Structures are given as C-alpha cells and as structure tokens.
Amino acid sequence: MGPEVAAVATLAGFPPDPEQRMLLDAAFALDKRGKSVAFEVVVIAPRQNLKSGFFKQVALGLAFVRHEPLVVWSAHEFDTAKEAMNDLESLIDGSDLLRRRVRLTAKNNVALHSATPEIRVRPDKRLKALGVRYDARLKVKTRTSGGGRGLAGRKVILDEAYAVQAGQVGALLPIMLAQPDPQVYVGSSACREESAWLWDIVHRGRAGNDPRMVYAEWCAPDAKDVCAEGERCDHARGRRGCACDDPDLLLPVHSAITRGRILIQTVADLRKTMPPDEYGREIMGWHDEPADMSGRKVPLAAWMDCEDPKSRMIHRVVLAWEVSWDRNNAAVGAAGFRADGLPHVELVEYRVGQGTDWVAERVREIVGRQPVEAVMFYPAGPGGSLETQVTERLPAKFGDPKPLNGRDMAHGCGHLYDLVVSKGLRHLGDDRLVEMLRVASIRSLADAWVWDLKRSAGDACGVQAVTAALKGLNELVEPPPPPPAPAMTTENVRSETTALASAGF
C-alpha cells in the first residue's frame, strides 16, 4: 500500500522523498491475508531530515488509506505533540479532497481540540460498500506512565523515542493486545545516556534478524573507524583528523542535504557552536552509551547471536522454577548439555495469569519423563515458597530440590553473562525470554549482581529460572566427554596434510 500512501501525501502537498518512499513501501507492505508484514517500523536519523515527515505521511496513510479505527501518536514533549497535530491539520486543510473526508467540528475545524486532540476521517464510498461505518481516528498524546491506558488502538507512533521509558511503553503498547493487525512506529535521533529502551531496539535492528521489524538508521560510521585518533579522539574543535570536520561524511547521514533543505555551511556553523558530544550525537548520529541500562546486564544482541532453533539438550538436564513478583505468572526453566558439549538453556513452561498451583505438578511430570539430574530453586525469590509443594511431589529416590543462596545466584548471573558474550551457550530464540531479558533489572550484591524481579519493567521470572538451572548445571553436573575423534585413515591424513599446507605449515 506504500504507493497509495505516497499518493495521499502528495495530494496533501507533502510528497515523500525517495528515502521516505522506501520506508512507506516497507511499513505498508501486506501479506497474503492483508495484514501488515512488519510489527515494528523503526527510523533512527538526525533531526530535520525525514523522521517527522515520514510519520506525518504514515498518519495520513493510516487514516485515509487503511482507515484505522484508532491511531495514537505519542510524543515526549507537549509542544512536539501539539506541533504534529497542527501540521496534520494544515496538510488536510490544504487539500479539498482530503478535507471532504474529515468529520469537521462545529467551528468547521479539522481537529477536535480537547484534553486529547483528535482528527476523525469518515469512510469513503468504497469502504461503505464493504460495510465500514466507523470513523478513522487519530489522537496525539504526550507520554506519561499512565497515558494511553484504555485506548484500544492498534497503530501506535512513538516519536522522540530517545526519551521513552519502560513504564510509558507499558502504558501504551498493551492497548494492541486484542487488536487484529497491530503496529508500532518508533522514531528518534541517536540514543542518549537515558535511552535504555531505545538502545535495545538499536541493537536488535542492527542485528537484522527480526523478520517482523523494519529498521532504518542514518548515521556516520563509528568514530573509532573514521577519526584519525580512533577511540581516543575527543572530537574537540580543531582536533586534527576528527571525522566531525569531514563534510563527505555528512551526505550519507543527512538526506535533507541532498534534497537542499539543509546546507553544509549551516552544519559547519553548528560545529563551531555545539559542544562536541552534542554535535556527535545530533549531527553525526553517534549514540551515547547508556549510563544505566536499567539493570540489564546481558546484551540482547549477543543473546540473539547464540540462537539455534535446532538446538537440543540431551545430556544431564537441570530444572529450576520461579514465580513473578505479583505471583500471577510462573516459569520452569531448564539447562543441559548438547551433543557437542555446549550448554543449552530453555524456557520449558511459562504460564501467564495462572498463579503458582501448577508448578509443583509440572516439575514432577518433567522429572518423571526426562533424564533430570537435579531441580534448583532460589529461596530468596518469590518462588521460594513452593519448596514444600515441589519436594512432596518429587520421587523419594530423586532427592529434594537444591537451594541457591544469593552468592550462588550472583555466580549464576555472571556465568550466564560470560557464556552469552563468548557465544558459549545456545537457546531456541524464544521470544518470551528475549522480552524478559529486555525488561529485567538487577540489583548489586557486593561486587556482583543478581536479577531484581520486583524492580523489573515487566515479568522476568523465566530469566531467573533459566539462570538458576544453568547455575545448577555448572555446579553439580560434569559436562559430557567430547565426541570421539574419527579413526585415522589414509584419506583423512591426506586431507589434514593438505589443510596444514594451505595454512602455510
């Protein structure tokens, strides 16, 4: 539907740039069922280039082409939200064809201005023939921890995403749960120190392995690769060989320069007045490293690199259970060794809204069917209260569940981290675990850290269960012996000799 959306934007006097056309084609791509191919559409680019314009074109497309029942445009600042609404009003007001579709207010205005301003678009004859009688609605809101609750929209635009916090996402995105074709649009300049949520999205987008995400980023290459002094460059004005002074690097970063809306001379003037850090982030598109990732210690990009959908644990399995802080959800995690000796972790069972009564029986079932070596639990966690229930159901010959103290859990968290960053672990790529790692927070424990379920931005009990199982695997179980080497034959001696020769030996 991208070309149709581009046509509506052109009709409003706001034709898309080629970059915006590319994004519209991807964002409005439909599958064979007529549903959106992408769930997330993410655009990271310096200001005054293409993001806000793209979002306005998206809003017009969702209202006039897709005729969405409710689109929520969310911005960090009130002035930004108000400006977006005013711009949309002006675009629609400037086209007689679009204005005819809008349900005007009593004052003949395009938008109804109340606590939550909105634009209403009536269905055209084609839609009425299909039985559509409702108005398409576009609301513009500022973000708060509670703003968005109760709005049953299935398309959400998150502008100024560098300022999005986990609580605000928790208020806005769940409104999509019961919607048939949800989509979230994320737009921002480069990450700031407080942009923990956006930083996770950048890592996922750059990894390029999410089939439901459209990710586009405009930025200069990393400073370490283009500055003469590499990582040591402080980007101060007059610093010899600093990439900030290379005009050739500005063209791929600022598409508006190519379109004539931004002048290189203006950028050069900003270089003289902006602090180096601000210039690097806002002009070069270099992200600030988060000062606090809200306690998230396991990098998601490295976690995704460990994904193997065909991975299986076949040796010496260890189980663990955990319960969410509010006790509405519970999880059973497992860790074991693969045939090649690599550890594998898995979320065996995770039930939402079913409490804890099922956990003990489920653990018993798994122990009865699988070659489980041990069952672990963390008495200091919410699931510690289930120790008696689980113990009573386990076979007497199996033994009791084994507790982990705070130091054990800290070692387990460190072991999980080390395995992930060294790619010494495998998992199935379970989206539930990815989400839990994204929202999980930590608390310090002496010179180490453990998961903090109470302060996490969402339920992360499955991460704690997997960590406890992995700790048990590392502590109690010896890894299997490596597979035997193939018998030495004339043929493989010849191939090994050839390989050594090609390596220069």
For residue 336, the enclosing domain spans 300-476
Please report the sign of the dihedral spanned by the C-alpha atoms of residue 46, residue 47, residue 48, residue 53: positive
CA dihedral 273, 279, 283, 286 (to 10 degrees): 180
The average pLDDT across 444-461 equals 82
Residue keyed to tokens 């927070």? 441
292 confidence band (pLDDT: 50, 70, 90): very low
Buried b (16+ CB within 10 A) or exposed e, 326-349: eeebbbbbbbbbbeeebbbbbbbb
Instruction: Quote the CA–CA distance of 80 and 74 in Å, as a whole number.
Output: 9
Same domain flag for 429 and 408: yes
In order, the DSSP letters of 417-441 are HHHHHTT--BB---HHHHHHHHH-E
The CATH number covering residue 63 comes to: 3.40.50.300
Closest CA relative to residue 84, chosen from 44, 45, 41, 140: 140
Same domain flag for 313 and 446: yes
Answer for the pair 120, 136: CB distance below 8 angstroms, yes or no: yes
Answer for the pair 167, 148: CB distance below 8 angstroms, yes or no: no
Same domain flag for 213 and 229: no
pLDDT value of residue 83 = 85
Same domain flag for 395 and 420: yes
Residue keyed to tokens 């074991």? 336
Answer for the pair 356, 323: CB distance below 8 angstroms, yes or no: yes
- Tell me the per-residue pLDDT of 212-237, one tens digit each, with 9 for 90 and over: 999 999 999 988 889 988 878 889 88
Q: Could you say which of 252, 282, 312 is where a domain stops?
A: 282
Same domain flag for 65 and 205: yes
The average pLDDT across 481-486 equals 56
pTM of the model: 0.58
Tokens matching residue 13: 């006097």
The answer, yes or no, to whether residue 445 has pLDDT greater than 80, is: no
Cα 59–148–294 angle (5° rounding)? 105
As for how many domains the chain has, the answer is 3
- Tell me the per-residue pLDDT of 7-35, one tens digit each, with 9 for 90 and over: 999 999 999 999 999 999 999 999 999 99
Same domain flag for 173 and 46: yes
Same domain flag for 183 and 277: no
Instruction: Quote the CA–CA distance of 164 and 144 in Å, as a whole number.
Output: 9
Same domain flag for 106 and 163: yes
Same domain flag for 210 and 227: no
For the chain, give the mean pLDDT: 85
Q: Does 487 map to a domain?
A: no
The CATH number covering residue 339 comes to: 3.30.420.240
- Tell me the per-residue pLDDT of 43-75, one tens digit each, with 9 for 90 and over: 999 988 888 899 999 999 999 999 998 888 888
